[in-house]
Structure 1
Amino acid sequence: MTSLYRLDAPATAIAAAFAAEAGDDPWSGDYVAPARPAPVIVSDGRGGARRFLRPKLWGVPPPPRGDRPVTHVRNLASPFWIGTLRHAELRCLIPATAFAEWSGPAGARRQQWFSIPSQPIFAFAGIHRDGEDWPCFAMLTTDPNRLVGQYQPHAMPVILHPDQHATWLSSEWRDAVAVAASFPAQLMTVTDSPPM
């Protein structure tokens, strides 16, 4: 599963790409790994009309028997996630410019970086939480498309098309869950290093 992505754009450019208010987010561009902060896009909870850039940590608190923060949402019917997923105000967009997967045999594993040439800044579907130990988020995953599957056969992040952003942020769950699908492989590229 994806445990590293890049967001190589400043907060002002990210906010402009998603019609969001940047506020005083200090993000200037960097990599993101679990337990590191990154900006996400949240809506105002009233039909998603207003969007805001908010810094949060990657990884939500674990379930009762867990011992590590949870960074990915794979089972969308899980009782642990369903309450969050059904509330549009708890869904978010996770901006990114590329994401990494590791491939190859043990001892010779290499990073492969995936990006979307037509979307210099794209968005993963995510959920976010506040009011616990820290403001946090997790990304949704789905079955890999044929390109990602060559390197990571188990899962890939749910990447949203721009016209799906509003659906993810504000629609009823039965409509929002329909966008949680594999992104078309032909719209993606893969390289040995992150695109700059």
Structure 2
Amino acid sequence: MCNLYSMTKSQDAIREVAKVWEDRTGNLQALPEIYRDKMAPTVREGPDGRVLSMMRWGMPSPKSKLPASGRDPGLAIVRNTKSGHWRRWLGPDNRCVVPFTSFCENDDRTKAKVWFALDESLPLAFFAGIWTEWTSIRKVRDGPTDDTLFAFLTTEPNATVAAVHKKAMPVILTTQAEVDLWLSAPMDEALTLQRPLEAGALQII
């Protein structure tokens, strides 16, 4: 399960590829290690065009899974898109793309961190994500907080990832056309993107 990734490209690069209309991230610094429950940049559709903004990583958990304290650490990934828990957020209004330059999976055998990217130059790509505004208890000491949350979809791993981690890999978008499709297409069409990258499209770095 992907619980760690990096985003080290510039705001300008994100804005260009994702055709961003409004940038709300301020002076966005390189983020070499992004963990679940941390803030990270995302792009979604807004009333006047696409918005680049910071969201908190971890979508709401089902209420039935919460402990007595009500604390919800958030779900980092979306695997079963047929689940009723996720279907409500799979329409265009709740889709986003998550810029990244590399992502990490733990080796199934050694548990060591293994990083993947499109190539050694760490080009910009995007995870296919969903988002929502939500009130929850992320940390008991803070009590209920209002947050804008996101997570990204996973799929079967390609051969490169499966050699390290056999369970899943993120759904990765590598072109403007794929970003456009994910952000605006009807649900069934958008979900055709929930597939592994072709063999050879990722490298271990």
Shift of 1:110: 1.6
Question: Structure 2 residue aligned with 1:136, among 146, 149, 152?
Answer: 149
TM-score of the pair, normalised by structure 2: 0.84
Deviations 1:81-133 (A, max 9, x none): 01111x2010000100000111153xx43211111138711001000012532
State the distance in 2 between where 1:28 and 1:42 align. 20
Q: Which residues in structure 2 correspond to 1:1-80 (within 5 Å)?
A: 1-21=1-21, 23-25=23-25, 26-30=27-31, 31-44=33-46, 50-67=49-66, 68-80=73-85
Counterpart amino acid of residue 130 in structure 2 = I
Counterpart amino acid of residue 158 in structure 1 = V
Shift of 1:50: 2.1
TM-score of the pair, normalised by structure 1: 0.88
State the distance in 2 between where 1:89 and 1:119 align. 30
Q: 1:10 to 1:22 in 2, by over 3 A?
A: farther
Shift of 1:66: 2.1
Q: 1:81 to 1:50 in 2, by over 3 A?
A: same
Q: Which residues in structure 2 correspond to 1:90-169 (within 5 Å)?
A: 90-103=94-107, 105=109, 108-117=110-119, 120-132=123-135, 133-162=146-175, 163-169=177-183
Flag structure 2 segments of 5+ consecutive residues without an equivalent: 67-72, 136-145
Runs of 4+ in 1 over 6 A off after TM superposition: none
Q: 1:73 to 1:174 in 2, by over 3 A?
A: same
User: What's the % identity of the aligned pairs?
Assistant: 29
Deviations 1:23-71 (A, max 9, x none): 24132111211000000010126xxx82110100000121111233111
SS of the residue 2:21 aligns to: coil
Flag structure 1 segments of 5+ consecutive residues without an equivalent: 192-196
Q: 1:2 to 1:131 in 2, by over 3 A?
A: closer
Q: 1:104 to 1:70 in 2, by over 3 A?
A: closer
Q: How many residues end up aligned between the 2 structures?
A: 185
SS of the residue 2:147 aligns to: coil
Q: 1:51 to 1:78 in 2, by over 3 A?
A: same
Question: What's the RMSD between the two structures over aligned residues?
Answer: 1.8
State the distance in 2 between where 1:5 and 1:82 align. 25
Q: Does 1:173 align with 2:174?
A: no
Deviations 1:137-167 (A, max 9, x none): 0110000011100111000000013121111
Question: Structure 2 residue aligned with 1:89, among 87, 90, 93?
Answer: 93
